[in-house]
Structure 1
């Protein structure tokens, strides 16, 4: 069992070891959905929800597989839970908000293959978190993911109004901004100790 406090776990997952800006997990939706703040916030909420459900299930799956001495089934079990959760989220969003469903496009079903969610399940298992620590870790990771999306979306919206040389418009500028944002998050590295 890990002895970290809940606040340490949350801050570590959200800021210090941000899944997108420190581990570079979940880059696909980070770059693909961060064009508008509204869409980025909703995608962040969907990813956070999937992270929370996956984290709770991963804790139970890990305990069960350890009890029956079958830890080799861990990875495939996590993938099944993540895919099922994403399918439920996708059906819910499609039913409740068709406009949001269209805005998120292919990136909503791609949450299934978002390595940040699988990484979360594997990291929490390796760190030996109990159930409540796992949920805190998932909430912190989801908050950090959403924060990264919102910051990038805000930057991209502001850059749309800036006079930028043609040489670096588009993808180049987005990647440069992402790199600078990642460097800025390195300043949080002292908080996690």
Structure 2
């Protein structure tokens, strides 16, 4: 259940584009055609699915304070968290280079259409943001980190696919001249972000149930103490009457 909840939250509620507006450069530049958007979106899913778990392992076993205790007791006090950015970016750059080689080998047309934006995935803030959000949210297991990486990639993929489909359609619409191009794209992106905000109430039923359960538990001792007080008062009255 935890994996499913994290998966859907990373797609709809914490969407990289519509919730935090990360990766907007390639989102705006490579969303003129659906085919190009699909290729870049698939590359982003692959990179996030690989780099987030890898960076989770780096964070857990190397970078966190005391993470090097598996090397011996003398290393338990080491804190390498200041290397987080360097290590994360190095991992991302390696994976992006691998993606670039694969795309160029198996799909030269897609490689040419993506152009400079394919290697620029290495400095895409959405990719680095996925690893930093994973670190800040203290995701507990490797499986959850993988789920978060895949979900974040799918969320970014859906965002660029949706805007690319809309931009292909509005070519045939009578958009006012001052808004043509990026103007109408920014407006549509804002409206889509407002739409995705409606998912903010998803998967909150469990939290409400937990709150109600805790409220019931907190009320029970109060009721029992009230009953004991009433019984003690009644007993005192009876003793007073007997003494009289």
The TM-score bracket by the shorter chain reads over 0.9
Q: Structure 2 matches for 1:52-67, cutoff 5 A?
A: 52-65=49-62, 66=64, 67=67
Which of residues 5, 26, 29 is equivalent to 2:26? Answer: 29
* CA-CA distance at 1:192 after TM superposition: 4.7
Count of paired positions = 190
**Stretches of structure 2 lacking an aligned partner (at least 5 in a row):** 69-77, 205-244
CA distance in 2, matches of 1:59, 1:164: 46
Q: State the structure with bigger RCO (CA 8 A, min sep 6), 1 or 2.
A: 1
3-state DSSP of counterpart to 1:77 = helix
CA distance in 1, matches of 2:203, 2:82: 31
CA distance in 2, matches of 1:29, 1:122: 20
CA distance in 2, matches of 1:184, 1:192: 17
Partner of 1:71: 81
Q: Structure 2 matches for 1:1-193, cutoff 5 A?
A: 5-65=2-62, 66=64, 67-68=67-68, 69=78, 70-129=80-139, 130-193=141-204
CA distance in 1, matches of 2:120, 2:25: 9
Q: Flag as ranges the 4+ runs of structure 1 deviating above 3 A.
A: none
- 1:128-175: CA deviations, max 9, x gaps? 211000000011101100000111001101101111121211111111
**Stretches of structure 1 lacking an aligned partner (at least 5 in a row):** none
* CA-CA distance at 1:7 after TM superposition: 1.1
* CA-CA distance at 1:104 after TM superposition: 0.7
Q: Normalising by structure 1, report the TM-score.
A: 0.95
Q: Normalising by structure 2, report the TM-score.
A: 0.75
Most deviating of 90-99 and 142-151: 90-99
